[in-house]
Amino acid sequence: MQSLAKAFALIEKLERHQNGIGISALSNELDMPVSTVHRILAEMIRHGYAAQDEETKEYRLWLRFLQISTSILTGQNLRKLAMQQLLWLKEVTAESVYLAIPQNDEVVFVESIESDMDIRAGDKVGYRAKIHRVACGRAMLAFLPEKKYRALAQTFEGVDLDDLEYGLQRVRRNGFALADNSAYDYGGRSVAAPIFNNEGVVVAAIVAAGPINRMPWEKMRDEISVCVRQAAAKISASMGYQGSAYSPRP
């Protein structure tokens, strides 16, 4: 815990020196040995949380913090913008509905409204899943820029990337993704559609999920998907998106 406290103190000090600060000055301001400061900075640099200027040798916070803060703000803003559509989707499908955002090679569920049915998917706020394994993840993967998708796909273990790409092409054509999660999740099926921001970047997905007996493939494809896409389109529009969910991958 002492090491963690020292790391937080260092982060806060770097935040106050946004133009950079040398390791000796950091050591003095923190009343911490240079060796300790150097060790913490090395780990921060390794994980993208800090950077060192090659010329001045000074340190500053780096882009990983921006990525995390953007993810948090996106999730918070999305929850507000999406709530009306989540409530509507829950009513028209009678199933549990979710809002999920991407985070590296995972999806994180940031909002959840449970079905009124006795058997239901359940609350999933805070739940994480590998992005390629769930419908909401594939709904987002399908619309990532090609370069970003290829780099991410190389981290997927035990995945036939040709099969995955074939499925993502179908997602791009249809504007939604289907999944049977019974092998590793709550024993149900789900339908998801992507949500885009004002720059046309996919930032989230909305999901309707329920048990297999209430989610036959035909109903998912022909009925529930229509409602899920409609909800996703309205959330995207509220974020300033003016394009089409069927746009090709950038």
Taking only the tens place, the pLDDT of each residue in 187-229 is: 589 999 999 988 888 999 999 999 888 988 999 999 999 999 9
pLDDT in tens, 35-58: 999 999 999 999 889 999 988 999
C-alpha of 90 from chain center: 22
Alpha-carbon span 136 to 103, nearest angstrom = 12
With beta carbons less than 8 A apart as the criterion, state whether 125 and 78 touch: no
66-238 CATH, one of 3.30.365.10, 3.40.50.920, 3.30.450.40, 1.10.10.10:
3.30.450.40
pLDDT of 39 reads 93
Instruction: Provide the pLDDT for residue 11.
Output: 92
Q: How confident is the model at residue 74 (pLDDT cuts 50, 70, 90)?
A: low
Residue 184: what pLDDT?
43
DSSP string, 76-129: HHHHHHHHHHHHHHHHHH-SEEEEEEEETTEEEEEEEE--SSSS-----TT-EE
DSSP code per residue over the chain: -HHHHHHHHHHHHHHH-TT-B-HHHHHHHHT--HHHHHHHHHHHHHTTSEEE-TTT--EEE-HHHHHHHHHHHHHHHHHHHHHHHHHHHHHHH-SEEEEEEEETTEEEEEEEE--SSSS-----TT-EEETTTSHHHHHHHTTS-HHHHHHHHTT-TT--HHHHHHHHHHHHHHS-EEEE-TTTSSSEEEEEEEEE-TTS-EEEEEEEEEEGGG--HHHIIIIIHHHHHHHHHHHHHHTT--S-TTPPP-
Q: Find, among 196, 192, 224, the residue nearest to 207 by Cα.
A: 192
> Distance between CA atoms of 206 and 145, rounded to whole angstroms?
20
Domain with CATH 3.30.450.40 in the chain: 66-238
Q: What confidence category does residue 178 fall into, taking pLDDT thresholds of 50, 70 and 90?
A: very high
pLDDT at position 186 is 46
Q: Are 177 and 151 in contact (CB under 8 A)?
A: no
Q: d(Cα 205, Cα 220) in Å, to the nearest integer? A: 16
Mean per-residue pLDDT over the chain, rounded: 86
pLDDT at 41: 93
Take residue 201 and report the two structure tokens written for it: 């970047």
pLDDT tens digits along 89-99: 999 999 999 99
Q: Which residues of 194-231 are buried (b: 16+ CB within 10 A; e: fewer)?
A: bbbbeeeebbbbbbbbbbeebbeeeebeeebbebbbbb
Question: Which position has the higher pLDDT, 59 or 68?
Answer: 59
Residues of the chain with CATH 1.10.10.10: 2-61
Q: Classify residue 152 as left (phi > 0), alpha (psi -120 to 50) or beta.
A: alpha
Architecture of the domain delimited by 2-61: Orthogonal Bundle (1.10)
Q: Check residue 248 and give its pLDDT.
A: 44
